[in-house]
Every structure is written in structure tokens, then in C-alpha cells.
């Protein structure tokens, strides 16, 4: 079985978020399960210079897009045993940053068309074209409309993964012919609420639609979560499934992580206390033995549940909590936590920005990790914090519900609350605070959390089952 994984970013080459983590880890896990998987992505100028210098030129070809006929260079490289293809066009991709440009619709229409066009120039004709998020959503549309008559493309099956439905590639209908290069006779494939919607085109065209957790797949049938696509997804429900993301358990391993002050493991948890002490000392916070250190590593935006935290913050501190938050985002939250830090200098620290080494030290030193998200397609931080023994406190939504089980259950590995309500969140924190005083019970929960299987190997097996379900039996 051969899989071509189309993505707009991938670790270790270039990253802006969780999609890059998936694009770096899942293809590797598939290869470890004897699936021939290769990745195709844009050749951005932001790609790591050392890795960029190692790329090998293969060929170039022209990509027809509406009235344009654009150059595309094809390069290849390797990372972690996986072959990566890079599509080069300096007009579209020689810029600082990956997204947020006035012509993103044209840039990623070009990329999607180039992915399909490139297949006939590779020594690798895939059985499965696996596309990810709106930046690659047009590839299966172009494949069906313009390439199926080519023998190389006849039997290719397609899968589209929605990593976050909030981002859909929505533009005015006027771009359909002039930018996207699709005629009005096919407008119904992309048209949604008088807009061109790239994700809608993918959902209509592909053999299967996946998203990044089983609960999120169910939530997308609900208008509250689906950002306007619930009607489409209900209609195409037979295509939809959810497969939980994993984490890189080799990289995120407290037994070997060089960022930690002292390494420890589920079998030797006593070493963890040194990281708690050093974390507080490094942030100039006093160490109170009876205070529970609660941390967040997050973007400071509303849908991460920060309005709940803000609403009961001082009440939370009064319940014996020290609070650490690392992140950047909306000024209203940054300013609030800075004010709280000034008001409670022995209880609160905010570190603006994102510092990967510090994030790992927070996972390794905090007692509990708070994720009260309004929506969370999958989430990685709760799995990482569990692996490091910082017990997650999460709202029961999306991947948070699928990964964290409440301490009241026999296999509990954290604390959960259901409704999007500040005092329900505070109740979960208080329950954690109560168990924190019982060191044996707390240690048992930490062992459950650190022993949970969040590996990509588990997820890869689910993807393989999905691939097999749409291939002819002789190709499986």
C-alpha cells in the first residue's frame, strides 16, 4: 500500500502548529507499520536552512491554474526515514511566514493543483492521496475533475482530514473561475452559503473524511461546533470518522528529556520533585509544600477557556493554588495575568511567548495542567502533561474527552468537568486539590496518566484500517 500525504507544514522542516506535528509523526508511524508513505508540501523560504540545503532537485513542470501556467520545481529530502517532496514556486512561497497573505486562496489552489500534477513526475504512484486541512482541500477536487482520464490517476483513492473545522478556506464566489480555475458548471462542489469553501469541496469529493478524535467527529454534526458545515457533514456522515492523534513518545519522555533538570520515569517518580522545586525557583516563586502548582501552556485566546479561568481566578488562588501560564495571544488575557502577577507575586507567573524548553520544564514540574477549552479537536498538551505526570484538568470536549478519564473512574488519569461553566471548572480543580493532599492517591493517578498509550503507533493502526476499507482487496 502506497500513501502520499499532502500537507502545508511538517516537522522538522517548518511548523506553525499541530498540523506540522501530525505531518512529521504519522507518516513515520505508518512506515514503521510497513506502509510506504511519502509526504508532499510547499518549499517555503522559512524551511530550516540546513534541511533546505540537503534537498535534491528532481525536475520541474508547469501547473495550469485558470488563465495561468505556473512553474513548479520538484525537490526531495528525507527526515526520520520518510521521503518528503517539496513543490517550489518563489512567487507563492518565498515569503516570511506560511499563511495570512492576501492571496492565500491562489497560493493553496496552486499547491493543491501542483500536488496532483506532480504525481505523474514521481516514481511513486500512490494508492491513497491523504490531504489535510483547507490548504490541500482542492487536490481531490482537481483530481476528480481533470485527471481521472490519465491511467496514473484512475485508481487513486482519497482521504481528507479536518484538523480544525474553524479554518475552511472561505472566499467570495468571484474567485471560482479566475483564481481556483473551476468552471461554473462545477460550482456546486465548492459553493456553501454563497461562498467558495475549499473544505466543502474536499468533503464532497473524497472517499473518506476523518478528523482528529472520535468525539470531535460527533461534535462536527452539531451546529455549535461545526462553523456552518454541520448540514454538509450530516449529509455526508457515512464518510466521516474520528481517529485520535498521538504524540511523539520518544521525544516527550521524562526519562530522557534533556530539558528537565532531573529525569524520572513512571517507575522512579521520586525524581520528579526536583523539577517542581527547580521550576518554582527559576520563576522566582516560593515553594509551598501544601500548594498545588497548576499550569497552562496555551495560546491566549477565548476558545481555550481563558474566560472561565479569568472569571474565578482569584477564588481559585484562595483555594491553595500557585498558577503558571506560558503563552501569547489576545491582549485582554495577557494584561489580566500580568495584573494578577503584580497583585499575587508569590502565586502567579505569566511568561509571554512560547519557549519549547520551558514548556517541557512546566510539564515536568507542575502538579496539574489545566485545559478548560470551549472546543478542542484533539489537543496534544493534555497527553504530554499526562506523560510527564502533571495531571490534566480538562473539559469533556473533543480529544480531551477521548484521552482523559476522571479520577473517580477506576482507570482515571486526570480530572474532568462537562459544562462550559467557570464554577464547574473550579469544582474539578478543587477535587484535584483535595486528592493532592493524599500523596498515595495522587501518585496512583500519576502512574495511570504516565502509563497511558498516547503513541502514534496506536493511531497509525487505525489509519491503516481506514485505508484498507477503501482499497480493492487485492491492493490491501
User: Do 70 and 190 sit in the same domain of this protein?
Assistant: yes
pLDDT tens digit string along 153-187?
999 999 999 999 999 999 999 999 999 999 999 99
User: Do 236 and 286 sit in the same domain of this protein?
Assistant: no
Q: Is residue 468 part of a domain?
A: yes
User: Do 167 and 25 sit in the same domain of this protein?
Assistant: yes
CB 157 within 8 A of CB 131: no
The pairing of strands 321-327 and 292-297 is parallel
pLDDT tens digit string along 82-98?
999 999 999 999 999 99
User: Do 75 and 178 sit in the same domain of this protein?
Assistant: yes
Q: Indicate which CATH number applies to the domain containing 314.
A: 3.40.50.2000
pTM, 2 dp? 0.92
User: Do 15 and 107 sit in the same domain of this protein?
Assistant: yes
- pLDDT at residue 46 tops 70: yes
User: Do 300 and 400 sit in the same domain of this protein?
Assistant: yes
CB 2 within 8 A of CB 84: no
Residues comprising the chain, all counted: 476
Find the DSSP H helices in 263-417: 272-282, 306-311, 313-317, 331-343, 356-365, 381-387, 398-403
Domain that holds residue 349: 269-453
The pairing of strands 170-172 and 195-197 is antiparallel
Strand partners, 195: 172, 192
For residue 51, count other CB atoms closer than 10 A to its CB.
16
Helix (H) / strand (E) containing 130: strand 128-132
Q: Is residue 259 part of a domain?
A: no
DSSP letter assigned to residue 299: -
First-to-last CA distance in the chain?
A: 6
pLDDT tens digit string along 309-333?
999 999 999 999 999 999 999 999 9
pLDDT tens digit string along 210-265?
999 999 999 999 999 999 999 999 999 999 999 999 999 999 999 999 999 999 99
Could you give the CA distance from residue 263 to residue 50 in angstroms, rounded to a whole number? Answer: 30
pLDDT tens digit string along 277-315?
999 999 999 999 899 999 999 999 999 999 999 999 999
Q: Is residue 462 part of a domain?
A: yes
Helix (H) / strand (E) containing 457: helix 456-470
pLDDT at 474: 59
Q: Is residue 258 part of a domain?
A: no
Q: Is residue 154 part of a domain?
A: yes
Orientation of helix 422-436 relative to helix 439-451, angle to 10°: 110
pLDDT at 374: 95
User: Do 211 and 285 sit in the same domain of this protein?
Assistant: no
pLDDT at 476: 57
User: Do 349 and 396 sit in the same domain of this protein?
Assistant: yes
CB neighbours of 74 closer than 8 A, spacing ≥ 6? 57, 58, 59, 60, 61, 85, 86, 87, 88, 118, 121, 122
Q: Is residue 409 part of a domain?
A: yes
Q: Is residue 251 part of a domain?
A: no
Could you give the CA distance from residue 381 to residue 399 in angstroms, rounded to a whole number? Answer: 11
Q: How far is CA 371 from the centre of its chain?
A: 15
Is residue 63 left, alpha or beta, with left meaning phi > 0 and alpha meaning psi from -120 to 50? beta
Question: How many domains, in total, are found in the chain?
Answer: 2
User: Do 143 and 277 sit in the same domain of this protein?
Assistant: no
Could you give the CA distance from residue 112 to residue 115 in angstroms, rounded to a whole number? Answer: 5
Mean pLDDT score, 97-106: 95
Mean pLDDT score, 446-454: 96
Q: What are phi and psi of 309, to 5 degrees?
A: -60, -45
Amino acid at each position: 500500500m502506497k500513501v502520499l500525504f499532502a500537507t502545508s507544514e511538517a516537522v522538522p522542516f517548518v511548523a506553525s502548529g499541530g498540523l506540522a506535528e501530525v505531518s512529521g509523526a504519522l507518516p513515520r508511524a505508518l512506515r514503521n507499520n510497513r506502509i510506504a508513505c511519502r509526504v508532499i508540501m510547499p518549499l517555503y523560504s522559512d524551511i530550516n536552512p540546513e534541511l533546505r540545503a540537503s534537498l535534491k532537485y528532481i525536475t520541474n513542470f508547469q501547473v495550469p491554474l485558470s488563465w495561468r501556467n505556473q512553474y513548479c520545481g520538484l525537490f526531495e529530502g528525507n527526515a526520520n526515514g520518510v521521503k518528503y517532496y517539496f513543490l517550489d514556486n518563489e512567487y507563492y512561497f518565498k515569503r516570511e511566514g506560511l499563511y495570512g497573505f492576501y492571496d492565500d486562496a491562489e497560493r493553496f489552489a496552486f499547491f493543491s493543483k501542483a500536488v496532483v500534477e506532480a504525481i505523474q513526475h514521481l516514481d511513486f504512484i500512490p494508492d491513497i492521496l491523504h490531504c489535510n486541512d483547507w490548504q490541500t482541500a482542492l487536490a481531490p477536487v482537481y483530481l476528480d475533475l481533470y485527471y481521472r482520464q490519465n491511467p496514473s490517476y484512475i485508481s487513486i483513492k482519497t482521504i481528507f482530514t479536518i484538523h480544525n473545522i474553524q479554518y475552511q478556506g472561505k472566499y467570495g464566489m468571484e474567485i471560482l473561475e479566475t483564481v481556483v480555475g473551476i468552471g461554473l458548471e462545477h460550482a456546486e462542489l465548492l459553493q456553501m452559503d454563497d461562498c467558495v469553501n475549499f473544505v466543502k469541496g474536499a468533503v464532497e469529493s473524497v472517499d473518506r473524511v476523518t478528523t482528529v478524535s472520535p468525539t470531535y467527529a460527533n461534535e462536527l454534526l452539531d451546529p455549535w461546533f461545526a462553523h456552518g458545515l454541520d448540514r454538509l457533514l450530516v449529509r455526508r456522515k457515512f464518510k466521516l470518522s474520528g481517529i485520535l492523534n498521538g504524540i511523539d513518545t520518544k521525544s516527550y519522555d521524562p526519562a530522557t528529556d534533556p530539558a528537565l533538570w532531573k529525569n524520572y520515569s513512571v517507575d522512579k517518580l521520586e525524581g520528579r520533585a526536583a523539577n517542581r522545586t527547580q521550576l518554582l525557583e527559576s520563576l522566582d516563586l516560593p515553594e509551598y509544600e501544601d500548594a498545588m502548582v497548576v499550569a497552562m501552556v496555551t495560546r491566549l485566546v477565548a476558545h481555550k477557556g481563558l474566560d472561565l479561568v479569568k472569571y474565578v481566578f482569584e477564588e481559585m488562588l484562595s483555594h491553595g493554588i500557585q498558577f503558571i501560564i506560558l503563552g501569547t495571544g489576545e491582549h485582554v488575557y495577557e494584561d489580566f495575568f500580568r495584573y494578577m502577577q503584580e497583585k499575587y507575586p508569590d502565586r502567579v507567573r505569566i511568561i509571554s511567548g512560547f519557549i519549547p524548553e520551558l514548556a517541557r520544564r512546566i510539564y515536568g514540574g507542575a502538579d496539574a495542567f489545566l485545559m478548560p477549552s470551549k472546543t478542542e479537536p484533539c489537543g496534544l498538551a493534555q497527553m504530554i502533561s499526562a506523560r510527564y505526570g502533571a495531571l490534566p484538568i480538562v473539559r469533556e470536549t473533543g480529544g480531551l474527552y477521548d484521552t482523559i478519564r476522571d479520577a473517580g473512574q477506576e482507570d482515571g488519569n486526570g480530572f474532568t468537568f462537562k459544562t462550559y461553566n467557570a464554577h464547574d471548572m473550579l469544582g474539578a480543580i478543587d477535587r484535584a486539590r483535595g486528592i493532592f493532599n493524599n500523596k498515595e492517591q495522587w501518585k496512583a493517578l500519576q502512574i495511570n496518566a504516565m502509563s497511558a498509550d498516547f503513541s502514534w503507533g496506536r493511531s497509525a493502526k487505525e489509519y491503516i484500517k481506514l485505508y484498507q476499507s477503501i482499497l480493492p482487496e487485492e491492493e490491501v
